[in-house]
A = this chain, B = another copy of it.
Amino acid sequence: MRTSSAPSSRTRVRRMPKRGRYDAGTVHAILDAGYVCHVGYVIEGQPYVTPTAHWRHGSRVYWHGSSASRMLRALQGEGVRCCLTVTHLDGLVLARSAFHHSMNYRAVMALGTARTVFDRDEKELALRGFVERIAPGRWTALRPVTAQELRATTVLWMELNEASAKIRTGPPVDDALDYALPIWAGVIPVEQRLGLPVPDERIVGDPPPPVPCVGNGL
């Protein structure tokens, strides 16, 4: 399966085309390694970028929030265009000249139309995906969702049919002559790590702590 066998001109990586990737495996892995995406939308000509939790099921990426959220309300119209971007910063790339300083990163930009989940069962299934993405097996351990909670939650999704990944890895690339200069160059790695779970003070009984889904891997 490929997310975009012929990427659109809008998602084609123009700058540094060798960094562009369009296969679903790469796109999905980058989405799955992140907990937070940035959703772009437009209200009265003004672009907004809102961070929110996301998760993926097959070729759909989901996000959700309060039904009162400005972002979610703006995206619930018919055929509202949006952009969902997930970025992992993997390193600061220090070159011998300011010009060639860069970052190592993995990013996905997905363009599409936000769709609302209306069906109650489908919404519950989507929320299950959100919880299970954080800690597999957790859904069945929770107090079940209520009809009121489902009404108060808006779940949106977007088809991943116009998505591109952009990846940079490796050392700095300097101008040929600059390699002779005695200037430190290299990469400062950046890593996102999960710490040990911190239990709430009001836990009763002896429930097992969650085993979080490890993120940030590709």
Contacts and interface: CB of A to CB of B under 8 A. Distances in A.
Interface of A: 10, 14-15, 35-36, 38-42, 45-51, 53, 65-66, 68-70, 81-85, 87, 89, 92, 94, 96-99, 101, 103, 105, 107, 109, 111, 127-128, 130-131, 134-135, 138-139, 141-143, 145-146, 149, 152-153, 171-172, 178-210, 212
A186 B199 contact: yes
22 contacts: A35-B190, A40-B47, A42-B42, A42-B47, A48-B109, A49-B85, A50-B109, A94-B135, A94-B138, A94-B197, A94-B210, A98-B131, A98-B145, A101-B134, A143-B181, A143-B183, A182-B204, A182-B205, A188-B197, A188-B212, A190-B195, A191-B195
Given A84-B49, A172-B200, A207 B184 contact: yes
Contacts of A14: 68-70
Contacts of A87: 36, 38, 51
Nearest 6 CB-CB pairings of A with B = A182-B205, A189-B195, A40-B49, A40-B47, A51-B87, A184-B207
Given A69-B15, A149-B97, A198-B186, A35 B92 contact: yes
